[in-house]
Amino acid sequence: MMDNEADILVDITGLTCPIPLIKARRAIKSATKGQTIKFVGTSAEEISRKEILIAVSNLKQPLLENKENLGGKNWHILIQKD
């Protein structure tokens, strides 16, 4: 992995709950130990962002980044499977 590139990318742009949460759980389950997963979306999916963060914390996955980009219009969450 280089320069914050992830092993698995989960783009939830334009999706509504519960689909983003299902995709997040599937990605975490399919990842192997040490792989990174990047979740991306826009401000329209802010609730999904919070749900993903809750799911990650409940699964005890290391949170590497939780950032907003482009003036808060886009966001990403980067985790590593432990």
Hey, what domains does the chain have and what are their CATH numbers? 8-80 (3.30.110.40)
- Over residues 49-68, mean pLDDT: 83
Task: Give the residue from 50, 41, 47 showing the smallest Cα distance to 68.
Answer: 41
**81 Cβ neighbours under 8 A, 6+ residues apart:** 28, 31, 32, 33, 34, 35, 36, 37, 61
Distance in angstroms (rounded) separating the CA atoms of residues 46 and 25 = 17
pLDDT of residue 2: 41
pLDDT (tens digit per residue) in 16-53: 888 888 998 899 999 999 999 999 988 777 778 888 88
Q: What are phi and psi of 53, to 5 degrees?
A: -60, -40
Distance in angstroms (rounded) separating the CA atoms of residues 8 and 60 = 18
| Global pTM value | 0.83
